[in-house]
Amino acid sequence: MKAVLHYRASEGFRAALAAYARTAGVTAVVVDEFDDAAFAREIADAEVLLHVLKPVTAQMLGGALNLRLVQKLGVGVNTIDLEAAKAAGVAVSNMPGTNSQAVAEMALALMMSVLRRLSYLDPLTRQGQGWAPDPDLIDGVGELCGRTVGFVGYGGSASRLGPALEALGAKVIYTARSEKPDLPGRFTTLEGVLTGADIVSLHLPLTPQTQRMIDAKALASMKRGAILINTARGGLVDEPALVSALCSGHLRGAGLDVFGQEPVDPDNPLLGLPNVVLAPHQAWLTPETLDRSLAAAFENIRRLQAGEPLLNQVA
């Protein structure tokens, strides 16, 4: 059986993939997401596609006549044409929970980085000017302790983050499809989170219902001086409206690991704002996450070979 990893993988990622593949007796090929010619060549006779971020389109699937499984290394399947996969008879599975710890830690890191203005202090210090910062900017730093953090969505990553925030002295409120009595925090509505939180952190999938749910109206309803954190999907946020809220001073800042367009456009105005901390969709990416993800992927490959039901099949 042949599997193609469609990702610009590090040496460590490649080595881990090779080790799992040897044990499973699988031929594993790594193709850079920007090398379309190599992908077309390698996917032509592959039975498994290990999908990370680059969208899986109907055209892609049309060139993969032997394909039996698209295995998402992660949770969100909004980058996969599920209807085209279904029409082609290709199963789609994801792996909820494998990256929850990493995403929770990145969300916490972004909260602290925005509160402590690290995007301003780091380059200033490297330039030898860190001992003479703008006093007005330093007046804008703060602590998590005593603040209210609101989760929009209370799944795997947020449920790990909630207890840590409470241990640091923050108060947790959340909105979700149902109340979570075993988790920290107070259940409320989306409006309750937006109006009541000092930090709003997004932890939900991108669907037609959640597309740009954090729009100009939602941002205007947030507290003046609040912070927005997004480690979920860029499409949840109306980016021009977010830029306006940040430039006007209505929002203190934002911590973003995801964007509406990825890779992010170098001309995106968010990249030029001093009150924003940015990362290139890396919240999930740790060696620990990769090991958990490869273990889940190769269990599904084993099941595929054995004709057993797949884990977490979504299509």
Positions of E strands within the chain: 2-6, 27-31, 48-51, 69-72, 91-93, 148-152, 171-175, 186-187, 199-202, 226-230, 251-256, 276-278
Catalytic (active site) residue 262 = yes
Helix orientation angle between 287-306 and 100-115, rounded to the nearest 10 degrees = 150
- Report the C-alpha gap between 289 and 291 in whole angstroms: 5
205, 212, 313 from 263: Cα distances, Å: 19, 18, 27
Q: Among the options 233, 239, 252, 292, which is catalytic? A: 233
Amino acid at 275: N
Q: Among the options 166, 179, 262, 299, which is catalytic? A: 262
Amino acid at 98: T
- Report the C-alpha gap between 178 and 217 in whole angstroms: 24
**Element (H or E) spanning 73, and its range?**
none
Closest CA relative to residue 174, chosen from 160, 194, 144: 194
Token readout for 1 is 């059986």
Q: Among the options 6, 160, 281, 292, which is catalytic? A: 281
Cα dihedral: 38, 41, 43, 45 (round 10): -150
Catalytic (active site) residue 233 = yes
Residues forming the active site: 233, 262, 281
